[in-house]
């Protein structure tokens, strides 16, 4: 076999294993397309590194190889991405072991790095109210107002917002159907301001954006297509700057603010978990830390023995 044919065979062995794993993860586990794409990138980085180090197929990879790969990768990845990379490697090699494609799991002896808990950025109620004044009577202005109202009023992710169809809103019950991670659906209440903004947009904005092009999407761009994540980020940056908000404001900032304001208002943590679509309560518990940080700041500002007065 020529050297080129050998290289092709090694590449094929890795590609076959990666495609098999991603097919399993997509069908059996129902992972979201964005998650599958992130896992594919991680595994393609592993494949490139492994072939450069003479590892012809996943079956010959040992824990020492993975430690070296993770060390090399650490320079280009932030902490959250490093943790995701290791999680992908665990799932990949456990799949190969279960399928009988290799002996043992080389990730079994690798400990996950400790991750510091980052407290999310949260807007005050006054800041949110300033932001929600954004939008004029133009079709895109009415649409932008709906996007902002739903991001904060429902606590939805930007992907969930862009995936909304007109039929997902039940005006009579004041509920919206969101499709979250893993294609899981949940019903979330919608407030009167958001419903009023949607009604204005459906009456005077969306028909002009849609034209004669049929599209089930709720939020449309100027060409009548579904609004994208990038467009939502752009409109939020523009609206945030006009409202005098920090430059770091993002769609997830509104989601964080939604959860924090609910807890500050007395909502039960389990209820907030359901509203956010978190599979694990530990993910939602980050907002109790935000709440405590807010309480501590209030104490430092007001208590005579805090040392700040």
Give me 109's structure tokens: 């002896």
Interstrand relation of 175-179 and 185-189 (parallel, antiparallel or unpaired): antiparallel
Query: Please, is 135 exposed, middle or buried when counting C-beta atoms within 10 Å of its C-beta (0-12, 13-18, 19+)?
Result: buried
Q: What is the rounded distance in angstroms from the CA atom of residue 216 to the CA atom of residue 164?
A: 9
Q: What is the rounded distance in angstroms from the CA atom of residue 60 to the CA atom of residue 76?
A: 25
Active site residues: 157, 181, 252, 255, 278, 287
H or E element: which one contains 228?
Answer: none
Sequence-separated (6 or more) residues with CB below 8 Å from residue 215:
224, 225, 226
C-alpha Rg value of the chain to the nearest Å? 24
The backbone torsions φ and ψ at residue 260, rounded to the nearest 5 degrees and listed phi first, read -65, -45
Sequence-separated (6 or more) residues with CB below 8 Å from residue 193:
132, 149, 153
Give me 91's structure tokens: 């799932």
Give me 242's structure tokens: 């006009």
Q: How many CB atoms lie within 10 A of CB 2?
A: 7
Helices (H), 28-154: 33-52, 63-73, 79-98, 125-131, 139-154
């Amino acid at each position: 076999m020529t050297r080129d044919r050998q290289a092709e065979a090694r590449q094929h062995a890795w590609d076959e294993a990666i495609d098999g794993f991603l097919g399993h993860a997509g069908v059996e586990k129902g992972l979201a397309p964005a998650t599958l794409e992130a896992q594919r990138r991680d595994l393609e980085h592993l494949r490139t590194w492994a072939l450069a180090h003479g590892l012809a197929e996943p079956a010959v990879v040992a824990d020492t190889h993975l430690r070296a790969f993770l060390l090399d990768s650490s320079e280009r990845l932030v902490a959250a991405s490093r943790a995701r990379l290791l999680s992908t490697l665990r799932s990949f090699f456990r799949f190969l072991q279960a399928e009988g494609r290799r002996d043992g799991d080389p990730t079994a002896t690798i400990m996950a790095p400790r991750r510091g808990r980052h407290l999310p950025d949260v807007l005050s109620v006054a800041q949110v109210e300033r932001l929600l004044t954004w939008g004029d009577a133009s079709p895109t202005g009415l649409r932008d107002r709906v996007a902002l109202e739903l991001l904060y009023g429902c606590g939805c992710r930007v992907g969930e917002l862009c995936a909304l169809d007109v039929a997902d809103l039940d005006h009579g019950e004041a509920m919206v159907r969101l499709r979250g991670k893993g294609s899981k659906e949940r019903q979330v209440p919608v407030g009167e301001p958001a419903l009023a903004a949607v009604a204005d947009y459906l009456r005077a904005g969306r028909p002009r954006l849609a034209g004669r092009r049929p599209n089930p999407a709720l939020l449309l761009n100027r060409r009548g297509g579904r609004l994208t994540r990038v467009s939502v980020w752009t409109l939020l940056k523009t609206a945030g700057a006009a409202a005098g908000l920090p430059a770091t404001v993002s769609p997830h900032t509104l989601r964080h603010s939604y959860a924090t304001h609910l807890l500050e208002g007395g909502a039960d943590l389990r209820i907030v978990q359901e509203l956010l679509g978190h599979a694990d309560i530990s993910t939602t518990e980050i907002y109790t830390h935000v709440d405590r940080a807010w309480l501590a700041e209030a104490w430092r500002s007001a208590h005579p023995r805090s040392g700040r007065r």
